[in-house]
Structure 1
């Protein structure tokens, strides 16, 4: 970051919705931040550092708190790839798609990577600085993701598997980006719903 600041080069970086932890309000303000794990805490600490240097920055510094991003070219992420990616692979193997028990009650802000790229490009072109949520502003269930994958393939019965014990104290059951700050920059394009984004992603993954 300081290399960029010294040369007045725009610096864009990835923060995360994990900075919020177990809250129902996802707004870019200190009172709502309480990460549940080391990953989230590391993102939180860097965001705090950025907040301190922003008033003196002479070139754009922009951090995006990514929510549940999914879409093309994530296979390198392995187990950390999106649930849509894993459900697609399960169906291709002839298995039923599997969700953790309780997933119908877990709601996340799933945002399509094409929309994420569009926001990044727009903010770069417009010299935007600050820390911004990057989601759709709408929480949808993991079941909605699974339903969209099954609909594309035209087969598969959704099964439930036990929720891992080691995740229970570190798991965000609900996320929904507050987009007020992002919209205040002038960015006004709509975001894809889970049904729209997953359908596009499945077509890309299963292209011939």
Structure 2
């Protein structure tokens, strides 16, 4: 059996789809379907069972979860709203459950591959290497991700089964339709451009020109490939960046949407006061550690990935096809 927490969400559903393509349907999806829109992500997936995340977390915490032998746990379930400021809520959701699941997997010798975040690098002024001196948390969303990584490190010399934390950079692609303002700019601006012929980006900040802030944008298919690579190499454990190692400006990222659409222009709007002091103007994964352990599956060229995703947005409402 394979467990995918957050399996009805963005990255999780793409991961389940890839597992299906490998012939695996003995999958238990764990998620929260309070937002019923996520059921659409499940439509084209083949899986064994679904468990509500509250029931799952309780069973894990109490030590009485049992579904038979488990090959791997892919843990992507979490609150993904980077603007959530209820610290108690986000620690409950993004740290305590992850910690309990980590110990469950260790106790049962199950490989545990979990989602961390590039937000653990704060402004990134000290670089984007998987090391303590580069890390800081600028907001309540980043803190439990960072705390989880540091907690896992305390056991790195005592592990009895694989544990991998993947620091996702800016992921985009199909099945993020339910994420609203947390969805990628490709999804948000594709439809805005179709309706108005206009894409809006922030004016310059932190010394960057208008639309010149840069991010390491990574296609969700590549994120899935990194997850599967580590599952196929159970001898590998640790915290690893999950980014392409190449940053692009928002201007270039959105130009790819315009190029696909054959129309549109970029308009710049004032940088929001609420984001000042909490915004990463530059991210770029240091992929040295990832490549050093043998990852050789490459990354999709940004322009090609955006075009592929825009095709789904235009013809399939942004959902993966069966």
Structure number with the bigger relative contact order (C-alpha 8 A, sep ≥ 6) is 1
1:122 equivalent among 220, 225, 229: 229
CA displacement 1:107-159 (0-9 Å, x = unmatched): 10000000110110011111121100000001100011110001111111111
Q: Is the 8 A contact 2:215 2:249 kept in 1?
A: yes
Matches within 5 A, 1:15-30: 15-24=116-125, 25-30=127-132
- Residues 1:84 and 2:186 aligned together: yes
Runs of 4+ in structure 1 displaced over 4 angstroms? none
- Residues 1:113 and 2:214 aligned together: no
- Residues 1:96 and 2:222 aligned together: no
Matches within 5 A, 1:1-208: 1-24=102-125, 25-102=127-204, 103-127=210-234, 128-207=236-315
Question: Equivalent residue of 2:265, what SS?
Answer: coil
Mapped to 2, the partners of 1:66 and 1:23 lie a distance apart of 14
CA displacement 1:54-106 (0-9 Å, x = unmatched): 21111111110000000010111111011111111202323411111124320
TM-score (norm 2): 0.63
Q: Is the 8 A contact 1:144 1:194 kept in 2?
A: no
Larger radius of gyration: 2
CA displacement 1:176-200 (0-9 Å, x = unmatched): 0000111111011221232121111
Q: Is the 8 A contact 1:69 1:82 kept in 2?
A: yes
Question: Equivalent residue of 1:35, what SS?
Answer: coil
Q: Is the 8 A contact 1:144 1:195 kept in 2?
A: no
Which stretches in structure 2 are left out of the alignment for 5+ residues?
Answer: 1-101, 205-209, 317-322
Q: Is the 8 A contact 2:121 2:134 kept in 1?
A: yes
Question: Equivalent residue of 1:206, what SS?
Answer: helix
Q: Which moved more, 1:146-155 or 1:192-201?
A: 192-201
Mapped to 2, the partners of 1:196 and 1:138 lie a distance apart of 15
**What is the RMSD of the two structures over their aligned residues, measured on CA atoms?**
1.2
Which stretches in structure 1 are left out of the alignment for 5+ residues?
Answer: none
